[in-house]
Chains A and B, each alone.
Chain A
């Protein structure tokens, strides 16, 4: 609880005066004194409507917690448009790795509407306890109901570690809960390690990736971390896993919200190249506009986007938003494949922070090979379609 309620007996004239004050009947009278029971939802109606000064909310400033009471790893199983968000299996993969080092239970929280199939899917992946909060009004993400459910789940499971995907929803929800529990949160972790006493070591890039920071939350529980998508290794299904499923009732007060979702539009991947994790770049080696389609096919196979150098944009072959370079956008994808790009410094400056640079060019002397991690010397018209084909057949062979 972040706040607590203080009752001033002197300000209450009669029991009748406060009889109907609390919609949850949380105000108890033992004949001599008033107290607040656990039914209190902190709605503050007693403070607002009660006798002046009788009920006051006071901020609790107890910051340190007994570490021992908190154990286990909790995972927020975010729902996306087509079932469980893939980052959840990655979090689970990491959690199982950590739990193998220091044995502890793995709890999972599933919030939404019609959760049966998602729940069924998760039981195959080695979760110890799965908590479902299933309600039509939890279909859309709204912060107050989701935070209220999450809070209830954490009080019930008391985990030492809470892992949340660094998605837009995760990055909105995790800090809200971390503040509610007055504890630490490390955003966008790229690596997690565990120590004795369930101490979590969180590693994340700082200052735009120029530095890595190693962060601990020594005195507080639970320890919250959000983790980037596509960083950890997905959990594999387990044979005869035993998942206990708890489907918990929803308290109507949790659903109160100042937010109304008027409309939801599902859509595909991000359209901005600066957000893309994979980019395929067209350079002057692409000789006609219609040939861009072979690059586009490669981009699709990689679930990435198409970008271009300045000359391609100037010719009007691609939208200016897709221009990479000093006069265009600077990008930092995980993977960038340049096709027929010579690699002038104006362009190279825009891609240098990419995690992996692949260059395809038929000129072995092209400056792009100075910055590429993998330089493929050859004709893009031959290599690119073969690459697409290899990706597609690799995917098929695994499914």
Chain B
């Protein structure tokens, strides 16, 4: 049996260029440039490293409009084998739950026996990092988040270092499973120009709502999304801009007082 590795990737706006329309509170999307979510590059690299160790096939899967195929092609140029695009107007407006549900069904439909699913730590647009664990729940497989190092990859199990901030865990997880990887787990390889030609000829499977097994239309897109964004608004900018002069002790005490009041420093015991 060969190892089927699936990487979930996403096309995101170039965040530095995002602006909010002050009157309507909506995003100014026009002309916004897009790119692959930078965290996903590390996820793809991890998949490629594991494939190099165990053999197998690396799938990349994305949900989005037709132009999201671009990130799948980029993944091909890094060395991914197969691509799946979940594309259907009925997927529009998906929140995390609907997105995870759709991706889980997409994986189950396209990949017969997925052994390992890899997600980036988070996206730069949603920033939530919760799609991975939700996919794992829908597929009823274990998941491990914050994987910072791949210790060993075998066909049926992975040994991993997990960064829980306050502690490091070394774990072994059986496949099938889902992992989300930290950005610096591996430096992602650059797209290869030799592979660019190959990538151009590779086919991408495009799946819509009706292609997914047990696809209930009520579970997709806006209709299948429990959370509703009621409003987007620019953060309130009421930041002070003050220049202080005085004796050293005056300045020090004044600053400590301000930091406390702004909750930037709390004098608690540890």
Contact = CB atoms under 8 A, between A and B. Distances in A.
Interface string A360-399: 0000100001001111111100110011011100110011
Contacts of A209: 235
Interface in A188-205: 188, 201-202, 205
Nearest to A387: B252
B216 to A, nearest CB: 5
Interface in A164-217: 167-169, 171-176, 178-180, 182-188, 201-202, 205-217
A80 B168 contact: no
Contact of B241 (A187, A266, A372): A372
Given A179-B100, A184-B95, A215 B234 contact: no
Contact of A205 (B132, B172, B235, B269): B235
B31 interface: no
Interface string A9-30: 0000000000000000000000
A73 to B, nearest CB: 18
Nearest to B243: A375
Contacts of B159: 262
B183 to A, nearest CB: 10
Interface string A226-241: 0000100110000000
Nearest to B269: A399
A233 B268 CA distance: 12
Nearest to A174: B130
Contact of B142 (A143, A202, A278): A143
A374 B228 contact: no
Contacts, number: 267
A174 B163 CA distance: 18
A138 to B, nearest CB: 14
A172 B143 contact: yes
Given A169-B164, A207-B125, A259-B142, A369 B133 contact: no
B49 to A, nearest CB: 20
Given A61-B216, A144-B142, A172-B146, A179 B137 contact: yes
B253 interface: yes
B167 interface: yes
A267 interface: yes
A172 B227 contact: no
Interface in B136-190: 136-138, 140-146, 159, 163-174, 177
A219 B226 contact: yes
Contact of B130 (A175, A377, A379): A175
How many of chain A's residues touch chain B, expressed as a range?
A: 35 or more
Contacts of A263: 169-170
Residue in B134, B214, B259 with the greatest tally of chain A CB atoms within 10 Å? B259
A314 interface: no
Contact of A171 (B129, B144, B240, B258): B129
Interface stretch (B12-20, B69-77, B196-204): B12-20
A230 B214 CA distance: 43
Contacts of A219: 226
Contact of B127 (A208, A233, A375, A395): A208
Contact of B174 (A183, A210, A258): A258
A258 B173 contact: yes
Contact of B144 (A143, A173, A379): A143
A373 B239 contact: yes
A120 to B, nearest CB: 17
A394 B129 CA distance: 37
Interface string B248-263: 1101110110111011
B267 A395 contact: yes
Residue in A80, A169, A355, A376 with the greatest tally of chain B CB atoms within 10 Å? A376
B248 A140 contact: no
B18 A210 contact: yes
Contact of B256 (A141, A220, A387): A387
A376 B255 contact: yes
A233 B128 CA distance: 22
Contacts of A292: none
A267 B256 contact: no
Interface of A: 2-3, 59, 61, 63, 80-82, 86, 140-144, 147, 167-169, 171-176, 178-180, 182-188, 201-202, 205-220, 230, 233-234, 257-267, 270, 278, 302-303, 334-335, 355-356, 358, 364, 369, 372-379, 382-383, 386-387, 389-391, 394-395, 398-399
Given A61-B216, A265-B167, 16 more contacts: A61-B218, A63-B218, A63-B226, A141-B164, A168-B146, A178-B96, A184-B97, A207-B27, A212-B232, A230-B263, A259-B171, A261-B170, A356-B239, A373-B240, A383-B248, A390-B253
Interface of B: 13, 15-16, 18-20, 27, 95-97, 100-101, 124-134, 136-138, 140-146, 159, 163-174, 177, 214, 216, 218-219, 224-235, 239-246, 248-249, 251-253, 255-256, 258-260, 262-270
Those 7 A-B pairs whose CB atoms lie nearest each other, nearest first = A184-B226, A175-B130, A184-B227, A187-B128, A179-B137, A386-B252, A179-B134
27 contacts: A141-B164, A143-B136, A171-B130, A171-B133, A175-B130, A175-B132, A184-B95, A187-B129, A205-B235, A207-B15, A208-B18, A212-B232, A230-B263, A260-B171, A261-B171, A262-B172, A264-B168, A264-B169, A265-B168, A267-B167, A278-B264, A355-B264, A375-B242, A377-B243, A378-B246, A391-B265, A399-B267
